[in-house]
Structure 1
Amino acid sequence: MRAPTTLTSLPLAFILLTPLHAQEVRTGAKAFGTWQDDAPGVSRHITPADLPPPSLTENDPEAPDFERLPKVVDAPQGKMPNVPQGFTVQVVAKDLNKPRVIRIAPNGDVFVAESGSGRVLVFPAEGAKEGSATPQAFAENLDRPFGIAFYPLVEPRYVYVAAANQVVRYPYRTGDRKARGSAEVILADIPTKRHWTRDLAVSRDGQRLFVSIGSASNVAAGMPERSSDEIKAFEKTHGLGTTWGEEENRAVVRVMDPEGGTVRNFATGLRNCSGMTIQPGTDTLWCTGNERDHLGPNLVPDFLTSVREGGFYGWPWYYTGANEDPAHAGERPDLKDKVLVPDVLLQPHSSTMQIVFYDASAFPAEYRGDAFATMRGSWNREDRTGYKVVRARMKDGKPTGLYEDFMTGFVLDKDTVWGRPTGIAVAQDGALLVSDDANGTIFRVTHGGSR
């Protein structure tokens, strides 16, 4: 049994002197880049017109020569992430076992999915702020827990948890740090091959619970053949462009009532929507997209996007609109003009994970309404990308397509990293919490003199 993990108050990081927004926006080929181009304030705007043609057409999902997993090391002595001028970083938790999703309870308690141990942990709000409390295990014995949701949103009675194989819920009252009862299965028998990160989101009216389920493969190259009539009949019940065989009800966002009585596909063609959130003040569901590999170093862009009901986002047939995947050349011309283009295109292979909108007032006013997203980082690209937190710029609640680096510095050289940002949440006091699942750390980012 693992020893209890204690929050640790460590010295504050230095405040970076790089002026915010000092760099021009990088567009075209310059927008792709690598970790060596990253720094707080560096901005990028990638459009579909910027995409190169595929440089690798075999699209072999098991090609061993593409695997370049990073070596993860401890943080060098005194090393902290880089953040924009005026912001400060501190470590408030360490020695966790693959902490991933972070969600904030209505009373400010910090819930963390410790995927490596099969637990959901709770840090008391004040303890998480000061780095002075030992977390409690709210729930245990789960298969790689990930998504967490409170229901209803006001005065919740349940905590829902999405494990790799099922969605469960626990009875809960505000302030509970241990589940009041055993797990009740809401959605059972989710297949666990390949992508296992299931996230959760609750609609503003509380009538719908969303769950994301990633694909079982890179490009679904092994699906059994079906006639056009069979495909049409299948799509009537499963959604436009959806896949079958081992990919049935995968690469989708599903929607159900909170009791799990009715379940259907809400959106399709999303290879791995590993993070979801509802944009504050709206009914708009947002998703992070992990796109396919093996088409070249600058394909396919990961993304952040609003998710339309009934929307089809391309996988596995197309990507970023009407760009056909070579692995499925000529197979589905009927879908070409029906693929939705994601709202914010990101550097390919960044492995974007979680997304949160900043709706607090502790950061400068210009941050209000923008989105933050984590990038766990590339695993098969010679020159690494990702390993950072980015900020997607919004205007009047709408995405501009532009995003900028916010927290960087986790890559030491082409082979070595000391952190992989994964979870992200806005704490009750407006600080930004970021989990690193490589070294088991939670960072707290504040602005000015606030802590």
Structure 2
Amino acid sequence: MKYRIWSAAMSAGLLVAAVASAPAEPVLQGKDAYGNWQSDKPGTVRLIQPQDLAKPGATPSVASFPRVVPRPPEAALQVPAGFRIDLFAEGLRGPRIVRVAPNGDVFVAEMRAGNIRVLRAGDGGKVATNEVFAGGLKQPFGIAFFPNGDNPQWVYIANTDSVVRFRYQAGDLKARGKAETIVANLPHDGGHSTRDIVFTPDNKRMLVSVGSLSNVAEGMGNPPGGLDAWSRTQPLGAAWASETERATVLAFNPDGKERKIYATGIRNCVGLAIQPQTGLPWCSTNERDGLGDDLVPDYVTSLKEGAFYGWPWFYIGNNEDPRHAGARPDLKDKVTIPDVLVQPHSASLGMSFYQGTQFPSEYQGDAFAAEHGSWNRSKRTGYKVIRIRMKDGKPTGEYEDFVTGFVVNDAEVWGRPVGVAVTKDGSLLISEDTGGTIWRVTH
């Protein structure tokens, strides 16, 4: 297969519609914060709070899968005023997570193809090199360089069932030797297959996200030995049977030992990132389906060690899932409420914090998250990249539409964002896995 790589400087590849400057819009709150693809536009700020939640079943649960079509010639991605977005790469095989190596090389997980690919820009920003770094992997998703800093010695890859690593020196375009298996037995098969990976700033711990097997632990039954005995010996809110160690973030040392559960009750933490200001891990999460158009909000949140985020018994605090009514009253007041609630069914995936100097100063320390888009909503939502607003390193609870325009009409879409990453020059890369493209946002 041929791969066509585009430089941001190539006007022929430009697909952009900057939103004109306008007075700052008010923050949409309550019911006004909810919307759909037709009301999305860069600069729209939303604040969804726990008190805004709809009642379970307030609207029917609707299956509305998108029909993916080729990018129409007239399609235009929208970005805020002062920004532009260019096609950076196309012809990729379902690009998902994107991570930038300390030397500036762009590593891309082609999950279905089982590849990790490396893209390197030459003079003038034009991508000059495109190589498969490693192949034959099992649904690779997460990518991390270890140790942290300018001179990593390893590239870690989170497969759906394991964590492996390759020897690495800056500039390597091909993996050095065979993969070394660090964790051989991640929970896998069925349900959510993505596994992301990050290292804590002190290089002492490796965190790996593992999504649930099911939507809401249907038919999980009772734990062996009974609930009381189980609760006394397991982390708060831990699941059992086929959901053992799932809907969690797991912690290891960098050699894959000292395995433990870091946090529980997180239905599907797809994207992991470390917040530079605090060193805290953050998680971009897909919440459950089947309770109507406006339940349950997805979320982007800091992760507290030992915390329980509700799944499957509760959501967004002490809101009980009616499908598990009365099952775990002991957990009702022990649920950690996420920091930033996102439109339900948006399918929040990859995330990254902005530390570059190219964007305006008010973006410094904010986060970006990719919203893959809904299937369980009557009016399509997601299919965009959002900005998570911070103030003094703490989330305000607000998020802002940043890149929109991937939806064609109520039935069709041409792109579904997955990964976001900040390059060495401070631009933002966005992968979308249906059209096989990566986009570059500059200011």
Which TM-score band (shorter chain)? over 0.9
- 2:76 aligns to what SS in structure 1? coil
- How far, CA to CA, are the matches of 1:419 and 1:232 in structure 2? 47
- 2:178 aligns to what SS in structure 1? coil
Matched, 1:208 2:210: no
Q: 1:21 Cα deviation (Å)?
A: 6.2
- How far, CA to CA, are the matches of 1:131 and 1:74 in structure 2? 24
Give matches, 1:348-427, under 5 Å.
Answer: 348-427=344-423
**Which residue number in structure 1 is paired with residue 42 of structure 2?**
40
Q: 1:297 Cα deviation (Å)?
A: 0.2
Percent identity of the aligned residues? 51
**Which residue number in structure 2 is paired with residue 130 of structure 1?**
125
Equivalent position amino acid for 2:134 in 1: A
Q: 1:15 Cα deviation (Å)?
A: 4.5
- How far, CA to CA, are the matches of 2:24 and 2:6 in structure 1? 34
Q: Aligned in 2, Cα 1:95/1:238: closer, same or farther, shift over 3 Å?
A: farther
**Which residue number in structure 2 is paired with residue 337 of structure 1?**
333
**Which residue number in structure 1 is paired with residue 146 of structure 2?**
151
- How far, CA to CA, are the matches of 2:339 and 2:203 in structure 1? 25
- How far, CA to CA, are the matches of 2:395 and 2:250 in structure 1? 24
* Contact preservation (8 Å) 2:53, 2:295: yes
Q: Aligned in 2, Cα 1:243/1:97: closer, same or farther, shift over 3 Å?
A: same
**Which residue number in structure 1 is paired with residue 89 of structure 2?**
93
- How far, CA to CA, are the matches of 1:380 and 1:113 in structure 2? 26
- 2:77 aligns to what SS in structure 1? coil
Equivalent position amino acid for 1:192 in 2: D
User: Structure 1, residues 44-74: CA drift from partner, whole Å, max 9, x if none?
Assistant: 00000000110179x9xxxxx8432101111
Q: 1:17 Cα deviation (Å)?
A: 3.3
- How far, CA to CA, are the matches of 1:288 and 1:173 in structure 2? 30
Q: Aligned in 2, Cα 1:30/1:5: closer, same or farther, shift over 3 Å?
A: same
Q: 1:4 Cα deviation (Å)?
A: 4.5
Aligned partner (choices 13, 17, 20) of residue 18 of structure 1: 20
* Contact preservation (8 Å) 2:17, 2:76: no
Normalised by the length of structure 2, the TM-score is: 0.95
Equivalent position amino acid for 1:231 in 2: L
CA RMSD of aligned residues (A): 1.7
* Contact preservation (8 Å) 1:122, 1:138: yes
Matched, 1:305 2:301: yes
- How far, CA to CA, are the matches of 2:207 and 2:291 in structure 1? 30
- How far, CA to CA, are the matches of 1:280 and 1:423 in structure 2? 19
Matched, 1:193 2:184: no
**Which residue number in structure 2 is paired with residue 49 of structure 1?**
51
Normalised by the length of structure 1, the TM-score is: 0.94
Which consecutive aligned stretches of 4+ in structure 1 deviate over 4 angstroms post-superposition? none
* Contact preservation (8 Å) 1:271, 1:316: yes
Q: 1:30 Cα deviation (Å)?
A: 1.0
What stretches of structure 2 of length at least 5 have no aligned partner? none
What stretches of structure 1 of length at least 5 have no aligned partner? 60-64
Matched, 1:223 2:257: no
* Contact preservation (8 Å) 1:303, 1:346: yes
- How far, CA to CA, are the matches of 1:48 and 1:37 in structure 2? 22
**Which residue number in structure 2 is paired with residue 62 of structure 1?**
none
- How far, CA to CA, are the matches of 1:104 and 1:126 in structure 2? 15
- How far, CA to CA, are the matches of 1:18 and 1:197 in structure 2? 37
Equivalent position amino acid for 1:387 in 2: Y
- How far, CA to CA, are the matches of 1:5 and 1:232 in structure 2? 57
* Contact preservation (8 Å) 1:388, 1:409: yes
Q: 1:232 Cα deviation (Å)?
A: 4.1
- How far, CA to CA, are the matches of 2:283 and 2:19 in structure 1? 32
- How far, CA to CA, are the matches of 1:4 and 1:187 in structure 2? 34
* Contact preservation (8 Å) 1:215, 1:251: yes
* Contact preservation (8 Å) 1:21, 1:41: no
- How far, CA to CA, are the matches of 1:14 and 1:122 in structure 2? 25
- 2:311 aligns to what SS in structure 1? coil
User: Structure 1, residues 215-266: CA drift from partner, whole Å, max 9, x if none?
Assistant: 0000001112247x63344345541111111100000000000001221100
- How far, CA to CA, are the matches of 1:357 and 1:14 in structure 2? 23
Q: 1:5 Cα deviation (Å)?
A: 2.1
